[in-house]
Structure 1
Amino acid sequence: MASSAARPSVVPQEQLASFQQHLSRSTRILALLGAGLSASSGLPTFRGAGGMWRTHDATSLATPEAFERDPGLVWQFYSYRRHMALKAKPNAAHYALAELARKRRDFITLSQNVDGLSPRALHPADQLKLLHGSLFDVKCSDFFCKYFESNNYTDPIVPALAIPSDDSDPTTTSTLAAKEADISDINVDIPELDHSHLPKCPECKSGLLRPGVVWFGEALPRHVMEHVDEYMTDEQPIDLIMVIGTSAKVYPAAGYVDLARSKGARVAIINMDANDVPAGGLQDGDWFFRGDAAQIVPELLKVVIGEIDVENMGDAAEGA
């Protein structure tokens, strides 16, 4: 797991030493993750293209009402996202955080990401709280059916949802290299699909399956929130919260930063944008590390996890 190759530091030494000294004596640690963590894995966030997918506002497709109105369109959008996420690979930050979880059992990660990269990096499941669900969970859309399946990596989930490609294999990487690389491309046909083409619930036989993500207007997963609340309200202090790839300006994320502070935590922010800081702003004693999380996070955590070899860890994860 260790790598002998020395890399130049990407973090100012004084800040690095200060952070690592605190990390070394920290036991109860939180990480709050956002889309910026996966940027080095090449995943689009739909922000860089003006929030558009084809001719559609991506946020308009992430609602229960949109699924009820046109489940075929919504499933094509999410099938595309599943496809892109499966073509991406966890980066060094995903693996570093997973290793920290193995080293510190009182470390939990609160992820706003649905891309499945943290689970694929073998992040211990009991220490990973997916606040917004996962693209690779599916559940029945029928109100009376409780069917739920996790870690469904079938691509496409049904044949009709294959991503258009010039190759005979609709899942080849040429899709990424060509038109699928442009998430705002309006020249890709979006066929109309009726219910017969879409994934059906294997339990009730009548309901459509839907992506197991939290859509706008829906509550966050109750079991996840209960676990997080239990951790946050424990009488023990919190030593550190790392805010990685997110501005944490939207609740409940912003509230977790504030609550961790109130329980004694120091705050470390890792982000590309110097303006992306939590709602409460920077305070004395905080660290701000500007740059690529895939480079910065492994260096910050090295004092606890050692050097990581992403290639070997990736091979181990793919074989698990």
Structure 2
Amino acid sequence: MEKEEIESFQQFILDKSKNGQKANILALVGSGLSVSSGLHTYGNNSDLASNVSWRNYSSIDLATPDAFETNPGLVWLFYAYRRHLALLATPNNGHKILADLSNLTSNLNFLTITQNMDGLHERVHHNSDSLLEFHGSLFEVICTNFNCNYRSFNFNDPLTPSLDVTKYIDSKTMELPKIENISQLPLCPICGTLLRPGVIWFGEALPLYLIDKADEFIIDYNIDILLIIGTSHSIWPTSSYIDLIKNQGGKIAVFNTIRDLELEKLNSTTKVWQFIGDCATTLPEIFNPILINWKNSQ
């Protein structure tokens, strides 16, 4: 990373938060942030849900309401596997920086919109009021009975004996367990109906309240900096926020492993910083001096 670009970015943030004013920052986060925590991206796609590939099953086999209705056992085996891997993962320094920023309410207005479902933001104590999980959470379960509103978060592993991941985690040597009865899967403790993972599948709309919260933040605060972290920003609605913030006069900072050539084209009218490398390394390198400055000024 070029020293001049780093210093330019840091000075911009610090200037925005001088004289009792707050900097306004929106972070768009994709699964590239969690790679250093040991969570790979499926199908080499940084926006995980859009190109699932697991044991030769495609996204149509695993990540749609129809797939769950047709074969809930297979879908639950896949999501139990992902829960297990997420629980084995450890939040990295990139997650920690975002958590620190979310809790500095005296210095900035901050919101993270994450496309990740791995729960790593919560485990590093990201401010829950400043976190929107657009694709849901691996650790939420929801009753499929429309007349029952049961939903809960839990970190049980396995969720049921039949979803014991140790029996099939090695895809080369272990066959998937046979799920022959719905009773082998997670059931609602209230009505006994089958539970589903609390994630957003293809064909399902994002919860309107999440979109509303994101829109309200962008409208209420004139965004100074849009952080694009570990994502290709290709999925709606996160892709639309670039134009919204650009039109507000905001700047853009990219934290990714490759240079974003499309955003680079904006540089003639909108300042775009690109910090190339592992997000778990580049985020602390850029933001730690800013955090130290704010701490020393208090």
1:110–1:130 contact (8 Å) kept in structure 2: yes
Match of residue 6 from structure 1: none
Q: Deviations over 1:204-232 (max 9, x none)?
A: 22x21111010111111222222112112
CA distance in 2, matches of 1:264, 1:60: 43
* 1:269–1:287 CA contact under 8 A, matched in 2: yes
Which residue among 36, 40, 43 is the counterpart of 2:39?
43
- 1:96 touches 1:305 (CA, 8 Å); kept in 2? no
| More helix as a share of residues | 2
Q: Aligned match of 2:253 in 255, 265, 268?
A: 268
Distance apart, 1:19 and its partner CA? 0.5
Q: 2:211 aligned with 1:211, yes or no?
A: no
| 1:227 and 2:213 matched | yes
**Residue 110 of structure 1: which of 109, 113, 118 is its match?**
113
Correspondent of 1:23 among 2, 5, 13: 13
Alpha-carbon separation, structure 2, partners of 1:281 and 1:35: 24
Q: Secondary structure at the match of 2:43?
A: coil
Cα distance per residue 1:103-155 (max 9 Å; x no partner): 145100000111111111100000011111110111111222211113x1111
Mark the CA change 1:103 to 1:59 in structure 2 (over 3 Å): closer, same or farther. farther
1:200 aligns with 2:196: no
| Contact 1:46/1:58 (8 A) holds in 2 | no
Q: Does 1:258 align with 2:247?
A: no
Does structure 1 conserve the Cα–Cα contact (< 8 Å) formed by 2:83 and 2:138?
yes
Take 2:157 and 2:207, find their aligned partners in 1: how far apart are those partners? 25
Instruction: Indicate if the aligned counterparts of 1:246 and 1:276 stay in contact, CA closer than 8 A.
Output: no
| Aligned-residue offset at 1:186 | 4.9
1:128 to 99, 121, 131: 131
Partner residue, 1:4? none
Residue 315 of structure 1 is matched in structure 2 by none
Contact 1:272–1:290 (8 Å) recurs in 2: yes
Does the aligned pair in 2 maintain the 1:54–1:188 contact within 8 Å? no
Shift of 1:22: 1.1
Counterpart code for 1:85: A
Give the alignment's TM-score, normalised by structure 2.
0.87
How many residue pairs match? The answer is 277
| 1:21 CA drift (Å) | 0.7
Query: Are the equivalent residues in 2 in contact too, given 1:141–1:209 (CA < 8 A)?
Result: yes
Q: Structure 1-normalised TM-score? A: 0.81
Q: Residues 53-79 of structure 1: CA distance to partner in whole angstroms, max 9, x if unpaired?
A: 113114530111111111111000000
Gaps of 5+ in 1: 1-10, 180-184, 308-320
Deviations 1:164-196 (A, max 9, x none): 35xxxx9xxxx6xxx3xxxxx354311231201
Structure number with greater CO (CA < 8 Å, separation at least 6) is: 1
> Where does residue 283 of structure 1 map in the other structure?
267
**Identity in percent:** 42
Matches within 5 A, 1:115-194: 115-150=118-153, 152-165=154-167, 179=170, 185-193=171-179, 194=181
Aligned to 1:292: 278
List runs of 5+ in structure 2 lacking aligned partners.
17-22, 46-50, 294-298
* Equivalent position SS for 1:106: strand
CA RMSD of superposed structures (Å)? 2.1
Amino acid at match of 2:255: I
The aligned amino acid for 1:71 is P
Q: Is the 8 A contact 1:30 1:240 kept in 2?
A: yes
> After the TM superposition, which of the residue ranges 102-111 and 63-72 deviates more from structure 2?
102-111
Partner of 1:76: 77
Letter in structure 2 aligned against 1:140: C
- In 2: Cα distance, 1:245 partner to 1:38 partner: 8
**3-state SS of 2:239 partner:** helix
Deviation at 1:91, TM superposition (A): 0.2
2:64 equivalent in structure 1: 63
